[in-house]
Amino acid sequence: MVTRTNRIHGLSKGALVPIMAFLASCQPLPDDPSSPDSADSITFESLGFDSDSFDLASTKERQLKVFEALFMGKDGYRIPGDPDPARLRAFFSDLRESYFLKAEGIDYALIKRQYHTFTHAMDVMITTHALLRSGGGVYLSPGEQAVLVLAALGHDAVHTGVNNTFLINSKHPYFIETGADSLQEKRSIRQVMALLEKHEILVVSEGMKKALQDEIIGARNLIEQSILWTDISRHKEQMNLVTALVPQLNDSLAKARGSDGEGATKGANAADLDLAMQIHSSLPEEARVLLASFFLHVADISNPGRDWDTCERWAGLVMNEFFSQGDLEKKLGLPVSMNCDREKVLVPFAQIGFGKFVIRDLYALLSQTLHFGGNYLLNNFEINQRKWQEIEEEVKASGKPYSIRFEPPSKDGGWLGR
């Protein structure tokens, strides 16, 4: 676990190991849930790329602490309209519940929903926050940053544990009702919007100032768009649009920094956050929404860019979930979806392929808009990719298949067993 060290700017992880071991022997670990001060150590500033989401999402109390640190602290995100804390807590509780629902007509004796849990939602929320704090915040208004982090928490609400292809091929009632395009993403949006409505958050009311009304309308649009863009089938389309936007972003950055851009760092850094006002107001709303959606998409598939243990753990969970879908597809006589056939798919091979065709370009593009954030994920990714290659070679040489380490999230974190 790397979390115990908050941010590790400038220090290699290798260098930290002996220091951490020494500290661990002298005092209770701050992230140990049994430690009395562990909840207090969850702050807006301490949540970052190296946070351990499995630990932070391990109990309902800790989950709420994370949410409070992000949205209710002195320096936390402010949602347009400034909803009171009681409303926000009630919204959080309902949103959390929607990750525990079972979809009609899905055989949960077979489907192992280990990946699309509330722990994943928490992980994506924390990573989105980390991307914003590493510099991404410069491109968005304060209200837009707040609702993007909220969208991250809701982006997989009411997820079924099977993918869109399964719902379409099995002619599931959700497909009949919602249609084929971004099926599950649209259902998550509907759920988030209904809960916002229920708790009167981001709701336009009469007597509200025009500027606030406009901000709320923009915020709701950002939530919808950013969740829609988490549909992996739109990955290429998004990559092309963001690539075309990069020169304009770096131009805005250079102007705000008062330089001509020559020799300057490409992509924003945490140090640029002071210039946020100047930069985000120089970008059109459409560009801001696209970029916000890009950050959420990155956060959603950021597991390959974490430390190896975290990367391998999430990879195991997602492959287990996929394989359980493959089992159900075989039972129902449906075509087995990509990466879902446990008889044919080799885990290291699938991870290497996903890295090569999706992740590497995604993180490289991120590094052009976010200098530290992008390079952090990219460096870890390259290390992990080599690890998968070593494992693949071992598997080939020994003839023994790779066995998945099964470490699901906690019950409070959304793992319902089976």
Nearer to Zn ion, 159 or 172 (CB): 159
Q: What's the min distance (Å) between Cβ of 300 and Zn ion?
A: 4
Q: 358 in the Ramachandran plot: left (φ > 0), alpha (ψ -120 to 50) or beta?
A: alpha
CB of 377 to Zn ion, least distance (A): 16
Q: How far is the CB of 343 from Zn ion (least distance, A)?
A: 26
Nearer to Zn ion, 300 or 327 (CB): 300
Calpha distance 277→142 (Å, rounded): 9
123 binds Zn ion per the rule CB under 5 A: no
User: How many angstroms separate the CA atoms of 22 and 105, rounded?
Assistant: 52
- Give which of 208, 245, 388 is closest to 303, Cα–Cα: 388
Report, in Å, the least distance between residue 120 CB and Zn ion: 6
Nearest approach in angstroms of CB 384 to Zn ion is 19
- Say how many C-beta atoms besides its own lie within 10 A of residue 167's C-beta: 23
239 burial type by CB count under 10 A (0-12 exposed, 13-18 middle, 19+ buried): middle
CB of 152 to Zn ion, least distance (A): 9
d(CA 102, CA 338): 23
The total of other beta-carbon atoms located within 10 Å of residue 358's CB is 16
For Zn ion, the closer of residues 229 and 372 by Cβ is 229
- Residue with Cβ nearer Zn ion (215 or 300): 300
CA distances from 269 to 148, 260, 277, 297, 371 (A): 19, 17, 15, 19, 6
The answer to whether 185 contacts Zn ion (rule: CB under 5 A) is: no
Nearer Cβ to Zn ion (88/125): 125
Place of tokens 């670990």: 29
Binding map of Zn ion across residues 2-31, x = CB under 5 A, - = no contact: ------------------------------
Task: Please tell me whether residue 370 adopts helix, strand or coil conformation.
Answer: strand
> Shortest approach of Zn ion to residue 106 CB, angstroms?
18
The sign of the dihedral angle between the CA atoms of 99, 337, 178, 223 is positive
Contacting range for Zn ion; rule: CB under 5 A; set: 99-107, 155-163, 274-282, 394-402? 155-163
Per CB under 5 A, which region of 87-95, 148-156, 188-196, 344-352 contacts Zn ion? Answer: 148-156
Q: Name residues contacting Zn ion, limited to 287-316 (CB under 5 A).
A: 300
CB of 15 to Zn ion, least distance (A): 33
Where does this chain touch Zn ion (CB under 5 A) — which range of 20-28, 33-41, 150-158, 202-210?
150-158
287 vs 377, beta carbon nearer Zn ion = 377
| Residue with Cβ nearer Zn ion (3 or 163) | 163
Q: DSSP 3-state assignment of 268?
A: strand
How far is the C-alpha of 418 from the C-alpha of 391, rounded, in Å? 28
Regarding 156 and contact with Zn ion (CB under 5 A), the answer is yes
Token representation of residue 135: 């510099």
Residue pair 389/38 in contact (Cβ under 8 Å)? The answer is: no
Site of tokens 């629902």:
101
How many chain residues are in contact with Zn ion, going by CB under 5 A?
2
* Footprint of Zn ion (CB under 5 A): 156, 300
